[in-house]
Structure 1
Amino acid sequence: MNHLRSLREFIDELDTIGEIQRVDTEVDWRLEIGAIIRRGYDLTAPAPLFTNITGYTDTRFRVLGAPGGLGGPGRRLARVALALGLPPTASGQDIVEAIVAARSKPGIPPVAVASEGAPCKQNIVRGDDIDLLAFPTPLIHGNDGGRYIQTYGMNIAKTPDGSWTNWSINRMMIAGRDTLACLIPGPQHLGIIRAQWGKIGKPMPIALALGVEPGLPYVGAMPLPENADESHFLGALFGEGLEVVPAETVDLMVPATSEIVIEGHIAFEDEAMEGPMNEYPGYIAVDASPKPLFRVSAVTYRDDAILPVVAAGPPVEEDHTGTGTMHAAEILYQLREAGLPVASTWFSYESALHWLIVSVRRDWRETLNIQSRELAQRIGDIIFAGKAGFGVPKVLLVEDDIDITNVDEVVWAFATRTHPEHGEVHFPAEPTAALSVYLDEQEQHSYRAGKVIHNCLLAELHPEGQRPVKGSFANGWPAEIQQRVLNNWNSYGYE
């Protein structure tokens, strides 16, 4: 595994393969940066690195857009793969298998290094000198309630007894020079820890690390069990601990190579208006509401700091590549731990994480000696019971002749293999995320709604040797004809 230890190392690696677009033209933080990032997602263009920002032309601060977006031809998953230590040409299944392999290893805790000389300590600001507006935080979407400085950083908090440190990504909007309004849903781990501080009547210490090493946002999206430390999982993935230093004003350790670290406390009763902001289902948000208020006590940052920014919305952006990849890996780990013959799992990025595709080995029936409906029931019972499946409303169950990372094959399998009358297995009133636009008000507030598995399995419908075979280029022509066509492709006039 190639462990990139800073955002700057990551940018350099992306630059070598053509996945960075330096934007030296002056751009406005008011909406223009966000619109460029959004357009880049739509075109799978290189990640924009903005170096000349209106109102900040006398600084050397920069903004990196789309740090985990999809890339161009031949490097579609390059940003995800490089962040997780793999070659830029790694496939989706390569990436998921690497994560699952790390999940089976013991965690490696962070390594404390000297604060003196640590990149994130090059500049230290406290008290009345704090001004969050000193950073070129963009107003991303035209409907946003404010400037969101936290779209791709790490929220770091630990329980009052110090037994559990959580690393997560939750959006945070600048509310004032030294305050942030934060989305912290109660069921999420950060919300659970905040509630523990509330029970003892003390504000929760918190650090927000922005521009961290590229693997951390993915690890922060990994749905590990309660009381598991995501930084230890990063250590397991790379075989070495994350380098950390003490924060200045709170009892927390922060990544030493962070571009920006914001420290402070969140009191349980302290609130400010937050939102709206677009989210992963892909629709324009319209509602604002009171949210927890983060009071900042110190800010540290690197010289010429770089702020990573995600423009959340329709697929495909980092909500989909980050959360989707890591949740699929955790679900695959859980299904295999249960002894099921699962070949792979994958969230369709294009479905805004509403489709989880599970492929089972084609010999599943001989292996388990059960009907497909029972297999679907077993798979659903595991997926929907855990944190990783909390946001999964729809599962497509296929055999491993389908490339589940190829949306065209997935659509074809779903359309042709699921019986319209009895091809579904339903799971009523399961715990669910509240952001899907089809949910009614009661479902949104209760975090419970029905879920479904679409059974696209063929094995029990057709005897061995008589199962339908995909009439593809690879299956439909003799090997020598295939090779002749491949060898002569350019001579036919194609590029």
Structure 2
Amino acid sequence: MKRRKLKIDVQKVPKSYRAYLELLASKGEVVAIPDEVDWYLEIGAILRHACETESPMPLFSKVKGAPGFRAAEMGPTVSRVPGKRWQRLALMLGLPDDAQLLEIQDAFLDAIGQEPHPPVMVDPATAPCKQNKWVGDQVDMTKIPAPILHDGDGGRYFQTAGAIMVRTPPGEPVPEDAYTVDKDAWTNWSFSRAMIAGSRPQNNPTPKPPHASSVGVPHGNGPHYSKNNIVGLWLPFQHNGMIYNMWTAQGKDCPFVIALGVPPAVTMLLSAAPPAWHDEYNYASAFLGHGIEMVKAETCDVLVPAECEIIIEGYVSADKSVAEGPFGEFPGYLSNQSSLKPLAKITCVTFRDEAILPICIPGIPIDSTLMLGCFCLSATARVYFEKSGLPIIDCFSPLEASSHWLVIRVRDDWHKITGMTVKAFIDKIAEVFWTNHIGKTTAKLIIVGEDIPPDDSNKVTWALATRNNPVQGVFHYPQYDSDGTGLQIYLDVATKLRGRGGLVAYSCLQIQQQVNQPLEQVLSFATNYPLPLQEKIKSKWSEWGFDR
């Protein structure tokens, strides 16, 4: 299919997560489950089965122990509708439902490159996210439908699909090149996991006989979950961790907000990994072409989208830690290890009537965690490559590779443009990627020529298998301070402790002695047969009955 130039229609971008679900439901892409479901494994099993069968997104109308709350797949997952495989992502962005991945990427990058717009402040009395409020002893995180998603997860993960929002402390110097809403502070929005703190369920118990149901029965001797303590990831190389460390350097606990059920424009920026001291709000408002309706949080200076479903506020301790994890993550595996992470106390929760908790269910591809992560990773990487001036056409992280590959397509005349050798060219691509913040996301680069669309996993696989020279086309980069995500199951202990290593680039370009020589003839319908014959066959195709 020819790649079209599409433009985002901001009037069609859903204003809220709730509006997004309603839009998908109108197209048969959401199924509301009326039965009460259990937060223990049942929600996770339904979500995972829906992902793996490319079924509509589940919406849970009743969740055990969480009256007044609902839960749903965050989206976007894969649609089985012919010709509209990516419509759940396209509709989130105000694009036609038959848009293809690189068409969506082009339109998204065009939009976020526009000028940002200041927040539109909303009266708290009319903000949907303020319709209900828990403070002090009213706070009870166990009443939110936080699920145990995988058999073996270390706790109830309420935060798998929301925005962690945190602001630098007063007095922290702001760089001159900062791209922030407030000239005196950086507010970061990020996408990382968090769970209710408490005693642990038993991990990976001995399987029960097939006839013995375990749905709704937690493992072990009744784990206890805290009403107002949570624990999540504040990793030092991630932006929320950088800001957390600024607060702890002053000997202070770090105020934060977790916004659940954020508008789609916000969702799209959570995995985009812009540079430090760049507010994601600016990119989101540029994408929309107007300011986002915002309201001040109850207990700190962070602004939150007024249309959110649930707002959780609190403080991350500067000196107290508790066990976090394990959790089944996006590579598709469940570790058996937990670790100590900073304890956070929840001081306030506000939420909409009949609030919907959005959930991402990581596992084998493809799921919404990968859809957002791979899409945003690719878009941000492409921005860095375009700024580098290298003859790179585009790039994409294949969804089937669980964010472990970034495929980079270059111009066939790259050698004439740059005058570089193959090694020097690949080295430069690696330098651009792994010396920027985005380089903390992927450990394997695959460089292909013009005829390999990076979002076509079949052609990428073919190119890697048939064009990569396993001796002259593989390049390693131990000098860069990255190990990809650090979640790869093949990493040894030393690499994990160092936080660097295992970076590799696979060149599917010609080896050095073949540069400037023509490629072998590619055998396909489009490349191996005369154009008049192709047109004749295509004009007769339906008549012959092939499209039935």
* Residue equivalent to 1:418: 468
CA separation in 1, counterparts of 2:425 and 2:138? 60
Q: Shift in Å at residue 84 of structure 1?
A: 2.9
Structure 1: runs of 5 or more not aligned: none
- Give matches, 1:143-222, under 5 Å: 143-161=152-170, 162-175=184-197, 176-222=226-272
* Residue equivalent to 1:47: 57
Structure 2: runs of 5 or more not aligned: 1-7, 171-183, 198-225
CA separation in 2, counterparts of 1:86 and 1:347? 21
CA separation in 2, counterparts of 1:460 and 1:242? 51
Q: Classify 1:182/1:158 alpha carbon distance in 2 versus 1 (closer, same or farther; 3 Å).
A: same
- Larger mean CA deviation between 391-400 and 471-480 belongs to 471-480
- Larger mean CA deviation between 68-77 and 403-412 belongs to 68-77
State which of 354, 379, 384 in structure 2 corresponds to 1:329: 379
Q: Classify 1:463/1:254 alpha carbon distance in 2 versus 1 (closer, same or farther; 3 Å).
A: closer
Query: Once the two structures are superposed, what CA deviation does each residue of 1:134-164 show, in whole Å capped at 9, x if it has no partner?
Result: 1222211111111110000011110002510
CA contact (8 A) 1:272 1:292 kept: yes
Q: Classify 1:463/1:441 alpha carbon distance in 2 versus 1 (closer, same or farther; 3 Å).
A: closer
State which of 368, 374, 377 in structure 1 corresponds to 2:418: 368
CA contact (8 A) 2:265 2:288 kept: no
Structure-1-length-normalised TM-score: 0.95
* Residue equivalent to 2:77: 69
Secondary structure of 1:178's counterpart equals: strand
- Give matches, 1:296-445, under 5 Å: 296-430=346-480, 431-432=482-483, 433-445=485-497
* Residue equivalent to 1:259: 309
Q: Classify 1:236/1:482 alpha carbon distance in 2 versus 1 (closer, same or farther; 3 Å).
A: same
* Residue equivalent to 1:456: 508
State the Cα RMSD in Å: 1.9
Q: Shift in Å at residue 473 of structure 1?
A: 1.7
* Residue equivalent to 1:466: 518
State the percentage of identical aligned residues: 35
CA separation in 1, counterparts of 2:326 and 2:479? 28
CA separation in 1, counterparts of 2:453 and 2:411? 12
CA separation in 1, counterparts of 2:107 and 2:434? 23
The aligned amino acid for 1:256 is A
Structure-2-length-normalised TM-score: 0.86
CA separation in 2, counterparts of 1:343 and 1:307? 38
Secondary structure of 1:26's counterpart equals: strand
CA contact (8 A) 2:112 2:284 kept: no
The aligned amino acid for 2:150 is H
Equivalent pairs, count: 493
Q: Shift in Å at residue 318 of structure 1?
A: 2.7
* Residue equivalent to 1:132: 141
CA separation in 1, counterparts of 2:545 and 2:84? 25
- Larger mean CA deviation between 422-431 and 164-173 belongs to 422-431
Secondary structure of 1:489's counterpart equals: helix
Structure 2 residue 142 is matched with structure 1 residue 90: no
Q: Classify 1:61/1:488 alpha carbon distance in 2 versus 1 (closer, same or farther; 3 Å).
A: farther
CA separation in 2, counterparts of 1:26 and 1:488? 53
CA contact (8 A) 1:218 1:323 kept: no
Secondary structure of 2:369's counterpart equals: helix
Segments ≥4 residues shifted beyond 6 Å: none
CA separation in 1, counterparts of 2:290 and 2:19? 17
The aligned amino acid for 1:90 is A
CA separation in 1, counterparts of 2:511 and 2:153? 49
Q: Shift in Å at residue 458 of structure 1?
A: 3.4
* Residue equivalent to 1:24: 34
- Larger mean CA deviation between 442-451 and 77-86 belongs to 77-86
- Larger mean CA deviation between 135-144 and 408-417 belongs to 135-144
Q: Classify 1:488/1:144 alpha carbon distance in 2 versus 1 (closer, same or farther; 3 Å).
A: same
Q: Shift in Å at residue 123 of structure 1?
A: 0.6
CA separation in 2, counterparts of 1:40 and 1:336? 37
CA separation in 1, counterparts of 2:471 and 2:242? 42
